[in-house]
Amino acid sequence: MRSSERNIFSFLKKYQIIIVSSALALFSLHLALTDKKEYARGYILKEMISYTVTPVQGVVLGIQDSIRGVWADYFFLVGVKEENETLKKTMYSLVDENRRLKEEARQDDRLRALLEFKEALPYSTTGAAIIGFNMERWSRTVSIDKGSAEGIQKDHAAIAPGGVVGRIIEVNNGSSRVLLTTDLRSNIDVLIERSRVKGVVEGNGTDGLIMKYVRQIDEIQVGDQVVTSGLSGVFPKGLVVGEVTKVEKSTDNFFKHVEVRPAVDLGRLEEVLVLRERSFYNE
């Protein structure tokens, strides 16, 4: 080896780090400055790197998503549980309030209808709320929250906007008991509004009424309105008792068997008006 060649090799060996570093720095600078101008020189390396970098980043992001999922689905639910309990309580409270408001609105509607009915009646009346039901077969009565203190007496008539409810059979100081028209013991003098045929309506012990003493020759048909005749003195004349639903020949061939549906749905009744006059014979 010649001396000049040896000198070159020794120079390269001595400064190899500087030479290699400078070459790499220049190459890097070249990549950096040409990359912006979209020269293709760095493109191949960049593509190669993207094949290795992207999967690694994908794995990391996948792990991150899993951790986030676990956190969101399990650990975070500790707080959600408490929040859920609070929300449930709030919801129950709101549901309860909503039910109460709806109930008040329905009560307002009913009382408004009752008031209008009361104002339309030519009799002095007392409004009362039903506070108890007794719907046994042998006894169909309701308790109301008004009694002798409010001027209510035995045999006063209880009515509703739909028609007759019953009559007072028991009076206490602050409450009374009403015998409903459907009670077996109830009987009311009535007449058919259309044909003026007379009869007596009695309770059948369930939810219906039976109109008795209608002769075979009397004109009566399904759909006829049954109203009070005013003869008993308890109910004023002309109050609706019910509607004829069935007309049949009786087994004795003398009277007809007439079934009547009460004008008032007694099972859903909540307020009544009590007529504070004892006798309506004079009407």
Partner 1 sequence: MKEFLLFLPLTIIYLALKSTLFASFPLPDIPLIMVFYLASRKASTEGALFAFVLGYLDDAFSGGVIGTSSFALVVIYLAVHLLSMLVQFTSQAARAGGAAAAALVKGAAVYYILRYSNIDAYFLTHVVLQALVTGFFAPPVISALQRLVMLVTPRKFKDNES
Residue 9 DSSP SS3: helix
Instruction: Give the three-state DSSP class for 186.
Output: coil
- Cα radius of gyration (the chain): 47
- Binding status of residue 120 toward partner 1 by CB under 8 A: no
Q: If binding is defined by CB under 8 A, does position 53 make contact with partner 1?
A: yes
Among the listed residues 2, 4, 5, 36, the single contact to partner 1 using CB under 8 A: 36
Between 35 and 116, whose beta carbon lies closer to partner 1? 35
- Site size for partner 1 (CB under 8 A): 29
* One of 22, 66, 84, 90 touching partner 1 (CB under 8 A): 22
In the list 8, 29, 80, 115, the residue contacting partner 1 (rule: CB under 8 A) is: 29
Contact call for residue 30 and partner 1 (CB under 8 A): yes
- Within residues 198-227, the interface with partner 1 by CB under 8 A covers none
Cα four-point dihedral sign 104, 106, 107, 109: positive
Which of the ranges 25-33, 87-95, 133-141, 238-246 carries the binding residues for partner 1, by CB under 8 A?
Answer: 25-33
Opening angle at CA 198, ends 194 and 204, nearest 5: 105
What are the start-end ranges of the H helices in 71-183?
Answer: 77-120
Q: Of residues 6, 14, 46, 137, which one binds partner 1 by CB under 8 A? A: 46
Q: Which of 176, 164, 90, 84 lies closest to 130 in space, CA to CA?
A: 176
43 vs 75 by CB, closer to partner 1: 43
- Taking CB under 8 A as the criterion, the residue among 8, 9, 25, 116 binding partner 1 is 25
Measured from the CB atom, is 59 or 115 closer to partner 1? 59
Q: Is 57 helix (H, G, I), strand (E, B) or coil?
A: helix
Contact in structure between 143 and 130 (CB atoms under 8 Å): yes
Angstrom CA distances, 138 to 157, 182, 198, 206, stand at 21, 10, 26, 9
Alpha-helix residue ranges (DSSP H) falling in 181-245? none
Minimum distance from CB of 77 to partner 1 (Å)?
23
Minimal distance, residue 50 CB to partner 1, in Å: 7
Cα gap 54→151, rounded to integer Å: 93
**24 touching partner 1, by CB under 8 A:** yes
Task: Give residues in contact with partner 1 (CB under 8 A).
Answer: 16-18, 20-22, 24-25, 27-33, 35-36, 42, 45-46, 49-50, 53, 56-57, 59-61, 64
